A and B are shown apart, each in its own frame.
Chain A
Amino acid sequence: MPEITLPTDHSTDPSLVIITNHLTKEFNGVAAVNEISLTVPRGKIFGFIGPSGCGKTTAVRLLVGTHQPTSGEVTVLGRAPQQFRRQDREKIGYMPQQFVLYPDLTVRQNLNFAASLYGLGWRERRASLVAMLELVELSEHAHKIARNISGGMQRRLSLASTMMHDPELLFLDEPTAGVDPILRNKFWDYFRTLREKGHTLFITTQYVNEAAYCDYVGVMANGRLLTVDTPAGLRHNAIGGDILLMQLDQPLPMEKFLALTDLPFVSGEINPVGDNTWRIVVEDASVALPELMEWTQTAALDVVSLREDQPSFDDVFLKLMQEEDRDN
């Protein structure tokens, strides 16, 4: 389980492309982003998950430099966004939440414009244009007016225009919002392709299940960063361990239930989930699974099935939110 740590000297670690330390942004005295501290390693997908209005977009704007922090520190590609030079901005791609391209221009003209903003010459643009149109599967629609293509195509066009200048670091603000599940999967395929090519992606999303596609996940609520972890680590920490599902061919007697709770590898609650099936929270599923099988045999219990269960990220997210509410 990889550990996300904050190095002592941020600027000297080239493996970290984003570093924030108590980053805060207030609007009229209200904190939209509240003391966020995180690091994002190079060549990874960092997912930023949280409910609508929790401060994800503000956080992205602080990272791309369109917003100035009220307090705290932020370093992106080794430099504070407020001090970005042109060369720094050329390494960054930013896809805002809404479709901000020009509806009266064709797909090709929009991509050309986006690339020109980054100073790409005609030859570079031409090469990149073909590649991007292919990547987002819009080659056949290149000459269509942007307003006449579907919403999904517009999102793909936005994504392609963000990538036209081949940025090192991509900030994608809810790229899959309002996109159908099939296209959403395609998007994540693109993102993985980009990661394989060495790009770093900072992606915000409302879809909790998309956390599973990220290398690291930051969970935000009410402007605060609740946790940063790998998807597996997030799940483990939220639930308090791994989950085993055990189905018996008969009801579990009380003395056996009590003996089960006393087992050393059981770290959390044991709850019935119906049809003689029990949900057991254990420290480590890989260790607990054989030991539990052995205990059932000793206890003369007939097991129909015994397996590890992966709780959905909805459950994980819900749990984290409940904890956040309780803390508040």
Chain B
Amino acid sequence: MITNTLRAITRIWAFVSKEWAEVMHQPRLLLTLIIGPFLILLLFGIGYQDESRTLRTLFVVPENSPMQEWIETYSEQFKGQLEFVGITHDADEADRRLRNQDVDLVVVVPMDPSKGINNNEQAVLTLYHHEIDPYEEAYVRVLGRIYTDKINEQVLIFVAEQGKVEAESLQEQTELALTSVTMLREALEEGDTAAASSSQQELHNSVAFLRLATTSSLAFLGAIEQTSGVPMDGETQLILTYLNSLQENIDTLSQLDADTADFSAEIALTQEIEIELDKATILLIDFQRIDSHILVSPFRSEVVSITSVTLQPIHFFVPAVISLLLQHMAVTIAALSLVRERRSGAMELFRASPVSAFETLTGKYISHFFLAGLLATVLTLLIIYVLKVPMLGDWGEYILVLAALLFTSLGMGFNFSLSARTDSQAVQSSMILLLASIFFAGFFLALYRFWWPVHIVSWALPATYSTSLLQNAMLRGQGVSLVLLLALTGIGILLFFMAWLRLKREMASE
């Protein structure tokens, strides 16, 4: 029993040492396997530019349009996204230049924007492009939206500025009201009811005007409070409350009795009105101080990642690239392995010898696994120390994911090898797998973008699992999903058994 086991181990080891010796005698191959993938990553890291594209933009503006000046002024604000090529009145010329790819974008300004608005219709800025890449087309759409938002913002700023000018006049009205109420109080103190009535009338008019004007001027502020659901210090409401209260108090003073000698209650009321007007003045000054930009764009967003490091675009792609490269390498070496044995005639030798399919396959798995593992180690070290890609997760889990990826990829490769008749067929199979992985393994397209049956293809690819697992482990620092890891390993085990049975059949008598 022991002898048989030792002999089986010897036979397995025969393949391990043979495969290693073959690789070691090809230093160039080894160098290519290690340096090649890293160079690809390095080039990707250096070459990838996370910059938005600047579109050469030509504006078509009708002659004598008031928009022309505005466009010239505000194009500066879009310097990163738009390169202002010029303004033309000739739509045909713009079309020709767009078709000749002299410009990337043509913005056609409507003939008479105010007419449309007056007719309760939005004025339309039409953006013409010649893009064929859907992502570039989406970029143009987003740019168009940002551009019109900017125009709308400018309109609102203008309205807000007007509101503030009105608020200035309101302040003057408040000061007039204050003078009137002071005069009213003094008249009451002197018992001069005629002068008091006159002052009360002036005060009534001033406050009525204030109420009317303030309501419209503070509309912006009110809208902000309404949108957010939280009053901005309740300022709008306060001003309106003060003004309502003022109006009531002033109305109380309208019925002055000339025969009354004691006006102490009315005097107290005028003092109260003075205080309320002071407060309203302070609030109006505060309102004027609010920047018009903030009034029209009261909200802005700030994006803060909860990961502890700043991730560069290359960092996101690295886990997927590692997965793809290691999968491809493992699949290819395994795919070529058995085909070459068959083509050289060595398989016939194995069939005549005591070596079993299990021993042959296990030996090859072990040798290729450690070879690919060595390459994965070197690749990882270069990625971490040269490309400075963060590793936030647990190294043990990272190793587990790579081990599962290599094991499953080797299984896939051996099954390809058992189906292929020639080297080129084996290489073609691994290339098709690589192509499928680039599209469906979440390398540059998220899986949710695919129709659900295509997900079956995605989840049949080892790289899909490892990309997701490595992204979480490396970039989020999260523990690996046990379900995904077990699923990947499960596929690997299934592929091993499939390869074993197929090799067993091949090594049996013909």
Q: Name A's B-contacting residues (CB within 8 A).
A: 61, 64-68, 81-82, 86-87, 89-90, 92, 94, 96, 98, 100-102, 104-106, 109, 112-114, 116-121, 145, 171
The 8 Å CB contact of B352, one of A94, A109, A121, A145, is: A94
B25 within 8 A of partner (CB): yes
Can you report 9 residue pairs joining A to B where beta carbons are below 8 Å apart? A65-B352, A66-B348, A90-B354, A94-B353, A98-B345, A101-B346, A116-B11, A120-B10, A171-B352
A73 to chain B, nearest CB (A): 15
Q: B354 touching A89 by the CB < 8 A rule?
A: yes
B33 to chain A, nearest CB (A): 15
Q: B345 touching A117 by the CB < 8 A rule?
A: no
Q: B17 touching A100 by the CB < 8 A rule?
A: no
Contacts of A90 in B (CB 8 A): 354
Q: B18 touching A67 by the CB < 8 A rule?
A: no
Q: B22 touching A92 by the CB < 8 A rule?
A: no
Q: A92 touching B352 by the CB < 8 A rule?
A: yes
Q: In the complex, which residue of chain A has the Cβ closest to the Cβ of B24?
A: A104
Q: A113 touching B10 by the CB < 8 A rule?
A: no
Interface of A: prevailing SS: mixed
Q: A64 touching B352 by the CB < 8 A rule?
A: yes
Q: B510 touching A67 by the CB < 8 A rule?
A: yes
Contacts of B510 in A (CB 8 A): 66-68
Contacts of B224 in A (CB 8 A): none
The 8 Å CB contact of B10, one of A68, A105, A109, A121, is: A121
* 16 further A-B pairs in the complex, CB-CB below 8 A; given A100-B345, A102-B22, A119-B354: A61-B348, A64-B352, A65-B352, A66-B348, A87-B354, A96-B349, A98-B345, A100-B346, A100-B349, A102-B18, A104-B21, A104-B26, A105-B18, A116-B11, A119-B6, A145-B25
B79 within 8 A of partner (CB): no
A150 to chain B, nearest CB (A): 19
The 8 Å CB contact of A119, one of B8, B26, B352, is: B8
Known contacts: A82-B509, A94-B352, A113-B14. The answer to whether A121 contacts B25 by CB under 8 A is no
A97 to chain B, nearest CB (A): 8
Q: B344 touching A100 by the CB < 8 A rule?
A: yes
Q: A121 touching B6 by the CB < 8 A rule?
A: yes
B338 to chain A, nearest CB (A): 14
Q: B354 touching A68 by the CB < 8 A rule?
A: no
A127 to chain B, nearest CB (A): 15
A171 to B353 alpha-carbon distance, docked (Å): 12
B241 to chain A, nearest CB (A): 93
A68 to B345 alpha-carbon distance, docked (Å): 18
A196 to chain B, nearest CB (A): 25
Q: In the complex, which residue of chain B has the Cβ closest to the Cβ of A62?
A: B509
Q: A94 touching B8 by the CB < 8 A rule?
A: no
B437 to chain A, nearest CB (A): 30
Q: B509 touching A81 by the CB < 8 A rule?
A: yes
Q: A119 touching B7 by the CB < 8 A rule?
A: yes
B interface residue count range (under 10 / 10 to 19 / 20 to 34 / 35 or more): 20 to 34
Contacts of B7 in A (CB 8 A): 86, 119
A101 to B346 alpha-carbon distance, docked (Å): 7
Q: B8 touching A109 by the CB < 8 A rule?
A: no
B13 within 8 A of partner (CB): yes
Q: In the complex, which residue of chain A has the Cβ closest to the Cβ of B25?
A: A104
B128 within 8 A of partner (CB): no
B350 within 8 A of partner (CB): yes
A114 to B10 alpha-carbon distance, docked (Å): 11
B455 within 8 A of partner (CB): no
Q: A116 touching B14 by the CB < 8 A rule?
A: yes
The 8 Å CB contact of B18, one of A66, A92, A109, is: A109
Q: In the complex, which residue of chain A has the Cβ closest to the Cβ of B12?
A: A116
A200 to B344 alpha-carbon distance, docked (Å): 27
A119 to B17 alpha-carbon distance, docked (Å): 14
Q: A117 touching B509 by the CB < 8 A rule?
A: no
Contacts of A171 in B (CB 8 A): 352
A96 to B21 alpha-carbon distance, docked (Å): 23
Q: B14 touching A117 by the CB < 8 A rule?
A: yes
Q: B509 touching A94 by the CB < 8 A rule?
A: no
Contacts of A65 in B (CB 8 A): 351-352, 509
B337 to chain A, nearest CB (A): 12
Q: In the complex, which residue of chain A has the Cβ closest to the Cβ of B23?
A: A104
Output the residue of A61, A67, A116 with the most chain B CB within 10 A: A116
Contacts of B346 in A (CB 8 A): 100-102
Contacts of A100 in B (CB 8 A): 344-346, 348-349
A94 to B350 alpha-carbon distance, docked (Å): 10
A198 to chain B, nearest CB (A): 21
Q: In the complex, which residue of chain B has the Cβ closest to the Cβ of A110?
A: B18
A106 to B353 alpha-carbon distance, docked (Å): 21
A112 to B354 alpha-carbon distance, docked (Å): 15
A163 to B281 alpha-carbon distance, docked (Å): 112
Q: In the complex, which residue of chain A has the Cβ closest to the Cβ of B353?
A: A117
B355 within 8 A of partner (CB): yes
Contacts of B350 in A (CB 8 A): 117
A87 to B3 alpha-carbon distance, docked (Å): 12
Output the residue of A68, A113, A117 with the most chain B CB within 10 A: A117
Q: In the complex, which residue of chain B has the Cβ closest to the Cβ of A124?
A: B10
A81 to B508 alpha-carbon distance, docked (Å): 11
Contacts of B349 in A (CB 8 A): 94, 96, 100, 114, 117
Contacts of A102 in B (CB 8 A): 18, 22, 344, 346
Contacts of A113 in B (CB 8 A): 14, 17-18
